[in-house]
Amino acid sequence: KPGEQKHPKEPPSLQCMHLAVVACGDRLEETLIMLKSAVLFSNSRLCFHIFAEDSLKPEFEKKLKEWPSSYTKKFESNFYPITFSVGNAQEWKKLFKPCAAQRLFLPVILKDVDSLLYVDTDVLFLRPIDDIWHLLREFNSTQLAAMAPEHEVPKIGWYSRFARHPFYGPAGLNSGVMLMNLTRIRGAHFKNSLIPGGLTWEEMLYPLYQKYKNYITWGDQDLLNIIFYFNPECLYVFPCQWNYRPDHCMYGSNCRGAEQDGVSILHGNRGVYHDDKQPTFKALYEVIRDFPFEDNLFQSLYYPLQSKFLDTVHTLCGRIPQVFLKQIEKTMKKVYENRVIVYLGANHRY
């Protein structure tokens, strides 16, 4: 258009996979281990969007700068304060876990970001983020976000048994891993139970919360379930191996995708990284936490993990170690092969 400023397209070498996380309270270490798992395996450049309390920001910056340059060059980090654009900020901040409701406001805050992967702090990547990022290409013309079901078996799921508000599908959604096309979300009008016409994302949030606040248990996750209950055509549902939680193995194995292909993203909710209730989850967290960046992945990560898993075979989750190991082994082989090829290429003249 006449007079309109042109913005050159970002060169492929600078394009980012955008990853957002919200960290408050005692979630510093957990968040750093999540970011570490993302950097260890991913192929493309990462842009971290870290929403944190002011007191945590200096420590985040310090810890990230301590990582080796071979890894710090793979990402850039952006920090944001905890802010809520509508309604009572303190009310939002206390909704469910501290600051968790911040994720609802990402489309409003990150106006220049087209697409984004949001994860909870207690998530670990066992394969490249590139692989879940590519699912954006599978969205049809109406889909603008992707999440996994809260449960695979509705008759024993929480939402199907206890929810007192609308929820998506037969068993609800878990919002710990959420892939979003923010451009589409900002441009959409959503059907709702408030007014006959559609509302924008930002217009909808606070009135929706006010209407259902006495009926919701899981905070922002419940609000997302309500939104997609009224707008099911907007959601792409990805399988359980992209958001694998203790519920998928502690009552018997009920995630077929993980049984076939292995866990892609591990979600250690219920605090299982920090107690002894699910030692298989804790073992994965500790091995990634303790892995020295520059060491050999098989020697210092995979083999210690196998050893730790031997101590968990008495548990329901520990009885299926291949579910946890399959994808991470495949990923490490690729990383190793890529490094060998790069090394041989650099020394080909010899």
Domain boundaries, the chain: 17-238, 241-347
Show Cβ contacts of residue 222 under 8 Å, excluding neighbours closer than 6 positions: 163, 165, 167, 212, 216
Average pLDDT over residues 61-86: 93
Q: What are the tens digits of pLDDT across the range 311-333?
A: 999 999 999 999 999 999 999 88
CA-closest candidate to residue 247, choices 307, 176, 302, 311: 176
pLDDT tens-place string over residues 153-167 = 877 778 888 788 999
Q: What does the pLDDT average to over 43-51? A: 96
Interval 131-155 mean pLDDT: 94
Percent of the chain with pLDDT over 90: 69
Q: How confident is the model at residue 346 (pLDDT cuts 50, 70, 90)?
A: low
CB 310 within 8 A of CB 295: no
What is the CB-side half-sphere exposure of residue 317 using CA atoms within 13 A?
24
> Strands, DSSP E only, in the chain?
17-23, 46-52, 75-80, 115-119, 123-125, 145-149, 173-181, 235-237, 265-267
Residue 197 has a pLDDT of: 81
Predicted confidence (pLDDT) at residue 40 exceeds the cutoff of 80: yes
Contact (Cβ atoms closer than 8 angstroms) between residue 201 and residue 180 = no
Please indicate whether residue 207 or residue 267 has the higher confidence score (pLDDT): 267
Distances from the Cα of 127 to the Cα of 39, 40, 133, 136, 242, angstroms: 10, 9, 11, 17, 10
pLDDT of residue 49 exceeding 50, the answer is yes
pLDDT at 329: 92
- pLDDT exceeds 70 at position 199: yes
Cα dihedral angle (247, 250, 255, 258), rounded to 10 degrees?
A: 110
Question: For residue 9, what pLDDT is reported?
Answer: 43
Predicted confidence (pLDDT) at residue 87 exceeds the cutoff of 80: no
Q: How confident is the model at residue 256 (pLDDT cuts 50, 70, 90)?
A: very high
Tell me, what's the pLDDT at 348?
A: 52
**CATH architecture, range 17-238:** Alpha-Beta Complex (3.90)
Note the pLDDT of residue 96: 56
Mean pLDDT of the chain, nearest integer:
89
At 290-307, the pLDDT tens digits run 999 988 999 999 999 999
Q: Counting Cβ atoms within 10 Å, is residue 54 exposed (0-12), middle (13-18) or buried (19+)? A: exposed
pLDDT of residue 334: 85
Angle between helices 28-41 and 57-65 (to 10 degrees): 30
User: What average pLDDT does range 218-233 have in this prediction?
Assistant: 93
Q: Report, as an integer, the average pLDDT of 220-230.
A: 94
**pTM for the structure as a whole:** 0.91
Residue 125 to residues 41, 243, 318, 340, 345, Cα–Cα distance (Å): 8, 10, 19, 23, 29
Give the model's confidence band at 97: pLDDT under 50 very low, under 70 low, under 90 confident, else very high.
low
